[in-house]
Amino acid sequence: MDTLIDINTELLSEEGELWELFHVNSKSTRSDLFIPSEQMAETMRQMPLSFSAKSREMLPLPAADPACLDKRTVAESMLERATPNNFVAPRLSLIELATLMHSCAGENRTPEEAQAERAFRVVPSGGAMYPMEVFVHCRNVEGVSPGIYHYDPINHALRIHVEGDQTDAIANTLVQPALPEDTSVHLIFSMLPSRLAIKYGDRGYRFAMMEAGHASQNAIIAARAMGYDAIPIGGYRDEEMEALLGLDGVNHVVGYLTFVGLDQDA
């Protein structure tokens, strides 16, 4: 009798497309082996909780303010979402930026509250391994000099990563290069897949990209609730974007982008 794995293999195209091979080989089966819980807990204790940029000066952010999220209802923010074609780049306040960053990557439960080895965050993460890092290009934010910053969710703060306005550099990596010029804030969700692979193997890569999607959706809903609009972007040239951020493109990769601005036609 054929097993499910046999059947899946037979369904592969003769060329063995990469996506097919990855999908089949990253499926969860009953024969999967998992690291014992205590061993994994010790591994997690030794893992860094966030991308290290401690050598850079920290810019503390004000606490996220739910009052910023009252320009649209939840229903309006979700159900009326559309991808605008006519953006402008309004000036965001610092507290709006702080609320946006917390909404897509901030901590919302202490280790004690979560009864876990580490704090939990607003977006779900497979096994609370948190492979995602968030960079934000602040182009038009009150009190923030233009540049690409790394968001530190532990301290709810920014650290400069690439100084100066990088609008043109970001535009050069995109399939649609006009988008950065017309938007105020550019979120870049990057991934360190090994943080998940250590627990879930190849399937961890799936979970890493799911996390980028969760974070992007949170950012879109938060931006709309603040009265702005947002566009998720997958059309970027990976190596060029990763070079801009100084990522190696294998161990640390770019997973998704989300730009925030205002729809002139709304």
The 10s digit of each residue's pLDDT in 35-87 is 666 666 666 666 766 776 555 789 999 999 999 999 999 999 999 998 888 88
Residue 37 lies in a domain: no
Where does residue 95 rank: exposed (0-12), middle (13-18), buried (19+ CB within 10 A)? Answer: middle
Q: Which domain, by its residues, includes 91?
A: 56-263
Residue 94 lies in a domain: yes
Rounded to 10 degrees, what is the CA torsion of 159, 164, 169, 171? 90
Two tokens, residue 213: 């999607």
Q: What is the CATH number of the domain that holds 127?
A: 3.40.109.10
Residue 13 lies in a domain: no
Residue 150 lies in a domain: yes
Residues 6+ apart with CB under 8 A from 221: 74, 77, 78, 81, 103
Query: Nearest to residue 187, comparing CAs of 102, 125, 63?
Result: 102
Residue 133 lies in a domain: yes
> pTM for this structure?
0.88
Residue 151 lies in a domain: yes
Residue 197 lies in a domain: yes
Query: Nearest to residue 125, comparing CAs of 65, 247, 211?
Result: 211
> What DSSP state is assigned to residue 127?
G
Write down the pLDDT at residue 1: 39
Whether 9 contacts 24, CB under 8 Å: yes
Residue 217 lies in a domain: yes
List the chain residues with pLDDT less than 70: 1-13, 33, 35-46, 48-49, 52-55, 266
- Tell me how many domains the chain contains: 1
